[in-house]
Amino acid sequence: MSARVPGIILAGGLARRMGGGDKSLLPLGKDTVLSHVIGRLRPQVTEIALNANGDPARFDRYELPVLPDSEPGFPGPLAGVLAGLDWAAARGAEHIVTVAADTPFFPENLVKKLLQAAETQGKPIALAATLDPERGLLRHPTFGLWPVALREDLRAGLRGGLRKIVAWTDQHGAAAAEFSTAPFDPFFNLNTPEDMVQAESLPRTCD
């Protein structure tokens, strides 16, 4: 499997717990949450696109392609995955990797380990995971490796009412790429103002 894959940042959510608006454009350190996500993803992928709805001009400063959901009604992250797969298919790519726009501390070896997990476990999809001592293996399904070959299957699923990511990935088989939670959970995402305060004390890619 080729290690050269494009990356899609999923920013299509409605951010209700943060009071609406774009969580990714909130300040973190000397820049924005999105700047940190881009800084962490860019060395790992060939190119980046942003999945977001509404006026794309608000992201002009980042100079990235902005891909709206290809299905109406804000059906969730899977619609962003599909938008990324459609964009990648037009560019001749075989896979994409997705990351969440509100999670600026994800691992710097994310893409490498997702590719390795899919290869060694013989699965078409790979999802990031962490081990919780009480709940066991926890998957982080917005952080995944997705094959372009499954995009029409995903489109049909969304049009049939599919919304939950793992409900679709379990149909096809998904490898688990396990990451450590020491010294903190790298998939800590920013949902509330309190999360933003906590994020200021954590190490960042850029500042």
Residue 162 is part of a domain; what is its CATH number? 3.90.550.10
pTM over 0.75: yes
- Output the CA angle 154-69-77, nearest 5 degrees: 60
In a domain, 147, yes or no: yes
Residue 207 included in any domain: no
The confidence score (pLDDT) of residue 205 equals 47
Q: Is residue 48 part of a domain?
A: yes
Tokens found for residue 2: 């080729």
Domain that holds residue 56: 7-199
Burial class for 193, CB neighbours closer than 10 Å (0-12, 13-18, 19+)? exposed
Mean pLDDT of 40-50: 98
Is residue 96 included in any domain, yes or no? yes
- pLDDT at residue 200 tops 90: no
Rounded Cα gap, residues 74 and 71, in angstroms = 7
Question: What tens digit of pLDDT does each residue of 65-122 get?
Answer: 999 998 888 889 999 999 999 999 999 999 999 999 999 999 999 999 999 999 999 9
Q: How many domains does the chain have?
A: 1
Residue 15: per-residue pLDDT: 44
